[in-house]
Structure 1
Amino acid sequence: MRDYFDSYGVLVALIAVGGGIVGGGLAANRLLRPNRPTAEKLLTYECGVDPVGGGWAHSYVRYYVFAYLYVVFAVDAVFLFPWATVFSAPGYGATTLGEMFVFLAFLAVGLAYAGKKGVLSWV
């Protein structure tokens, strides 16, 4: 039973050493870096333009929908590349072809739905 808990001791020691290294690095950074805050340095950075107005900005939900559609089609590409390699393997051709057409049909239905709802228009 003692050997069992000794292995946890090694784990705790590794975590302590790792935390010490990270904490030591952060402490060294705080001690060695210059600290000269000015009013200009404390302003909010907006791509080189002086900030105007309050901190609240209105953003359209449509941009998030575009990002979501990009992620959907990026995942589609992730599935298409392995499919292309398995498709050439003997005995898997017809099965993988059918599965991929079902997958692409789901994507086409989703794209048609997004187009019908007007999500894909940039105006």
Structure 2
Amino acid sequence: MTPLQIYLPIGVVLLVAVGLAMLMLGLSNVLGPRRPSLVKQTPFECGSEPVGSAHERFGVKFYVVALLFIVFDIEAIFLYPWAVLLLPDEKTGYAGLGWPGFLSMGIFVFTLVAGLVYVWKKGVLDWQD
């Protein structure tokens, strides 16, 4: 069996997927109803009337707070499996992470707390202007 024969089924599946996607888009474009109206062309704003321009600039604070939220959300995601694996389990015979696991998570949490203190001292979390 040559190396190209191994990839032939993958290529066929990709071609079928792309072809099917193009076929469905083409059919919906040809067969779909066209009844444009002013209501259908207005931007959807979660049920509210759109206010202002869509090209309005947001302050950098919104993006920084979003990034900080992601960082601390990831911390919470890493804390759960660590807490589950820290202690030994007599049922399965798992020895647990022990002190090395505790120390490594302590370093991880200390780094994140140091980052939180840093952004707090810099005033990034203050919303008053």
> Counterpart of 1:60?
59
In the superposition, the TM-score normalised over structure 1's length comes to 0.81
> Counterpart of 1:119?
124
The count of residues paired between Structure 1 and Structure 2 equals: 120
Please, what is the CA RMSD of the aligned residues? Answer: 2.1
> Counterpart of 1:72?
71
Q: Partner letter of residue 49 of structure 1? A: E
Whole-Å separation in 2 of the counterparts to 1:27 and 1:96? 55
Change (3 A) 1:107 1:40: same
In the superposition, the TM-score normalised over structure 2's length comes to 0.78
> Counterpart of 2:49?
49
User: Structure 1: which 5+ residue stretches go unaligned?
Assistant: none
Asked whether 1:108 is paired with 2:113, we answer yes
Q: Partner letter of residue 21 of structure 2? A: V
Identical columns (%) = 32
Out of 56-65 and 10-19, give the one that drifted further.
10-19
Compute the displacement of 1:74 (Å).
Answer: 0.7
Whole-Å separation in 2 of the counterparts to 1:50 and 1:68? 26
Asked whether 1:6 is paired with 2:5, we answer yes
Compute the displacement of 1:51 (Å).
Answer: 4.5
Whole-Å separation in 2 of the counterparts to 1:101 and 1:88? 15
Whole-Å separation in 1 of the counterparts to 2:65 and 2:7? 48
Q: Spell out, residue by residue over 1:56-110, the C-alpha distance to the aligned partner (whole angstroms, 9 max, x if none).
A: 2021111111111110111101111111122102363211111111111111111
Query: Would you say the 8 A contact 1:87–1:93 is kept in 2?
Result: yes
Compute the displacement of 1:120 (Å).
Answer: 1.3
Out of 35-44 and 93-102, give the one that drifted further.
35-44
